[in-house]
Structure 1
């Protein structure tokens, strides 16, 4: 009888803890989105090299299209899945300027871009962040780490970890 009470109380406590965790996560996500909308963060200043060794700055990003930054590592399995999905869905991203940013050696970035045929797409650039300055500035603590900006370079949303690219497309449709 005592064991049943202990098990019952343990289950109730566990359910309350799980429910509380879910509610807190939902609240924090809504709060994050509210802060982003209120502060309307713009694309940060940066200066990186592309895979051809040319300097590329934030002022080089054209307006009138969405901008998507993807901080990645060529060895990351989830980054590879995102790249494959990007290759498959590239026609749906024609109104996006997409920048893959990595601190991996340029040769590895080039191989990655070639493996997924993303180097052939005119709206996708691969950028080399040799000092991790971009990743540090945007707060990328995991890969893949993505940031979606509207056509006026205002932050729409940050995505940490692997997500389906349809989520990004749907978020862009709201703007």
Structure 2
């Protein structure tokens, strides 16, 4: 009988240790934005090859970050929907960021007629800062920030323009 209790105790102890390790590994895998839910400092290269920093974003305006790949079908749908409904979300600055080469990003921006929109900024994240900070897994990865650049909503795999418009309407 003592041996059965000892085996049960060892199995219980082993289970607890495995669970503790799993919790610790999960905590290490949490994206940094979950600990600090703000738009991080970043540097992107814009279509004209100039550098753009977080500090250059217009003060007091919400930001919608879209991390994308030009060849991604869902990203293309997101761009088309935005281009068709830009008036719904004109109170925000749109930041479209990719790690792909600038010529591919420029072609994408022109294809969806977003390149010349004053509230839309396209750029290349050469340091891979944003996907690392957000631990991007699905594209397009969309984040809505309020005017203080705090996270309001995260959409993995894209968002409907109407959803984004509703988020922006509820912001002060």
TM-score past 0.5 threshold:
yes
- Partner SS state of residue 63, structure 1: coil
Q: Structure 1 residues 40, 95: closer, same or farther in 2, change over 3 A?
A: farther
> What count of residue pairs does the alignment treat as equivalent?
139
Distance in 2 (alpha carbons) for counterparts of 1:119 and 1:45? 23
* Contact 1:148–1:168 (CA under 8 A) maintained in structure 2: yes
Q: Which residue of 1 is the match for residue 38 of structure 2?
A: 42
Q: Distance in 2 between matches of 1:88 and 1:155?
A: 25
Distance 1:132 1:157 in 2: 21
CA distances 1:22-42 after superposition (whole Å, capped 9, x unpaired): xxxxxxxxxxxxx97xx7722
The Cα of 1:138 is off from its aligned counterpart by: 1.9
List, as ranges, runs of 4+ consecutive aligned residues in structure 1 with deviation greater than 4 Å. Answer: none
1:4-153 superposed matches below 5 A: 41-153=37-149
Looking at CA atoms only, which structure, 1 or 2, has the larger radius of gyration?
Answer: 2
Bigger proportion of residues as helix? 1
TM-score (norm 2): 0.76
Q: Is the 8 A contact 2:66 2:143 kept in 1?
A: yes
Answer with 79-88 or 41-50: which moved more.
Answer: 41-50
Q: Check the 8 A contact 1:150/1:156 in 2, yes or no.
A: yes
SS state at 2:130 partner: helix
Contact kept in structure 2, 1:40 and 1:155, CA below 8 Å:
no
Any stretches of 5+ residues in structure 2 without a counterpart?
1-32
TM-score scaled to structure 1, two decimals? 0.75
CA RMSD of aligned residues (A): 1.6
Shift of 1:122: 0.4
